[in-house]
Structure 1
Amino acid sequence: MVARVGADLLDDYNRSGSLTLVDVTTLAQRRGLSSGAVEDVLLALAAAGVELNEERPELAYDGSGDLDGGLVRRQIASVEHDQLGAYLAAASRIRLLTAEQEVRLGRTIRAGQEALRALAADDASAIRSGARTRYVSVIEAGRRAHRNLVSANLRLVVSIAKLPRYSRSGIELSDRIQDGNTGLMRAADKYDPELGYKFSTYATWWIRQAIDRGAGDRGRAIRLPVHMYDQAKKVRAVKARLESQLERPVTLGELAGDLGLEVGRVAAILTWSEPVLSYDVLVGDEEDTPLLDLLSGDSFDISCLDPAAVVLAQQLEHDLARVLAKVLTPREVQVLTWRYGLGGCDVLTLDAIGELLLVTRERVRQLQVKAVETLQSDSHVDCLFEYLIDHAVDDVLVSPLEPREAAPPKRRGPKKQPGKVGN
C-alpha cells in the first residue's frame, strides 16, 4: 500500500509539477495509512527527488489567514458560550512560532522522551543522584517544550475545526476543537524536526484524524465502532472519486472491484453510513413541520414509537412462541404461524400453505382446527390472557380464535345424520 501511494503521488507530482505535504497526508488518510507508513511515504518521495511545497493556506496555517487575532475577537461576540469565547480569545493572544523555534522545541521534546525511556529502562537503584537529576531536568524541559508547541498551534486546530466538512458532522465547534487538540498533542509527541517539515503541516493530519474519529464516535445517534466508521469513510471516498472520474453514478460492482471487497460487504458498509433521522426533525419550506406529522396511513404505526408498547409486543411474541412450542406439534405451529401471520409473517391462504407443506388444502384446514381446539383446552394458554388487558397491543395480539382474514368457508349442504334419509 505504501508503494502504491508513493507511485500515485509521484504521478501527481509529474503532472502538476508540485506537491505539498498536505496532499501527501490527505491521500494517506484516504488510503488508511498509519503515521509510520506516512513517514515511509515521505522518505520514498525524498529519495525520488521530490521537494514538497509547504504552502497550503487553507490547511497549513501560517498566521496570516482568516483566523488572525482581530478576526477571532470579532467572532467572539457571536459565540454562544462564554467559555468558548474566552478560549478563542486566549488562543488568539499566543504568539506563533518561527521555523527555528519549532525545530528547537521539537528536539527538546524528543530529548525528553529519550531521557524518560532511559530512566525507565535503567535500574533506578543503580542510577546516581546526579544522573537522576539530569534525567529529570531533561524530562521536565521536554514537557515544557511540548506545552509551548501545542499552545502556539491552538489556532491551527480552530481553523481546521471550522472547515465546512466538519461543520456538517453534527458535532459542536467546542467538541471539534477538543478532539482536534488531542490530535495536536499526539502530533507534538510524534513530530520529528529532522525531516525538515513545518510542524503545522505535519500536525494537520493528526488533527483531522482526531476530529474525524470524534465525529464517528459522537456524530451519530447510533454510534459506529471506530473500525466500521473508518471503513464507511473509505468507501465514501472511493465512491466520490469513481463518480468524479466516470461522471455518472457508480454501481456496487464497480465500487467493490476498486475496493477489493465483495458486493454484499460494500452494500452493508454503505448502509452503515446512512444518517439516522429523528421523527422530531422539522421539514418543509419553512422548516416548521415535524416529520412525525407527515407520517400517516397504514404504512406507519404510531405505536412503534412507544417503548412500553414495543417491549410488551416483544414479550407477547416470545410467550406466544413458547406456549405454541410446548402445546402443539412443530407442523401445527408452522400452520398457525402461516395462517395467522404470527411473528411478523405474511398471512397465507390454505392453498398456499398446502403447497409449502406438500399436502392438500383440506389437510391444512384439519391441522388448523385441531391446533385451535388443542389451545382452547390447554391450561398453558392462560398466561397469554393477561395481554388482553393492555390496549397498547390490541393491534399486535392475534387470538387464535380471531384470524386476520375470513374464516374458512363452511361446509356446503346440511350434514347427514346416520340412520336418517332425507325427504
Structure 2
Amino acid sequence: MDKSDELQLLEPMMRAKQVLQLGILASEIAVETILDFMERIRDGSQDSGLVSLSTIIPSRHGHAETSEVMAAANALRSWHTTGRVMDGKRRREALAALEALDLSLAFHKELVRRLEQVPACKAEASQLEAEILISESATEHLIREHLPYVRRFASRNVEEGEEPEGVFQVAFMGLQRSTRRFDPERGYRFPIYATYWMRLAITRWRADEGAATRGTPSVAAITAATFFAVHTLPSSGGVFTRSRSIASTSGVRIFGFAPLPRRRSPRLDGPKRL
C-alpha cells in the first residue's frame, strides 16, 4: 500500500475520531460517566474489560499499563473539575487523556444509553450515536485493509509453545489499539506505528501469561479475541449473538472462557518506544 492509499484510509478515521472525542468532552454527563466507571475500576468493583481496551489490573502494583490509564483518568478528572476548557492547551490535554483511556466501542454505546436516560439530552445522545457509527465504520475499513499485514507479522513472531492463531489475535489487538492512538502529525507511517503497538501487545501478553493468572485467560487475550471477531465476522445481531462464531474463529468462549494457548516461557523485554 503506497502513501496516497494509506492517507485515503487514514483521513476519514482521524476526522471521525476527533469529532467523536470532542463530542464526548462537550457532554458533562458523558465525562462524569467515564470518571465514575474509572473510579470503580480503580477500587475493583468494575470489570475493566467492558470499559477499556487496555489491560488494567489495579491489584498488581507497578503494572505499567494500569498506571498509564489511571494517570489519564486523573488528568481527565482535573480538566473536568477545573473549568472544562474547550480550547488551546487544556483541550489538547483533555483529548490526550481521553484517548489514553482506550474506551471500548461497547462503552461508547453505554455513554449513549446514559444520555438517552436524561430527557434533556436526547438530541445529544442521537448526535453522539451518529458520531460513533461514523468513527466505527472508518476504523473498521482501515483494520480490514491491514489484516493481511497483521497475519504476516504474527507468523514471524511466534515463539516456542505458542499457537500462531493466538499470537495473531493479540497482534490484532495491537493493530486495533494503534488506530486509537495514531497521530499523523508525528511523522510516522501508519504501518510502522501499528507494528510498534502489535509488538507491544504481544510483549505484554507474554508477561501477563507468565504471571499469577496463568490458569485463566488474560484480559488482553480475551479482548483481542473479542475485537478480532467483532471486526472480521459478519454481523448478525451483535457481539453476544456471535459467541459461537467467536469461539470457533478465535479460540475463546465469550461465556465460560476457554483460554488461549499458553506459552512456556514469557519474554519480558519490550520494544523500544517510537
TM-score range normalised by the length of the shorter chain = 0.3 to 0.5
Q: TM-score under structure 1 normalisation? A: 0.28
Q: Name which one, 1 or 2, has greater alpha-carbon Rg.
A: 1
Q: TM-score under structure 2 normalisation? A: 0.41
Quick one: higher RCO (CA 8 Å, sep 6+), 1 or 2? 2
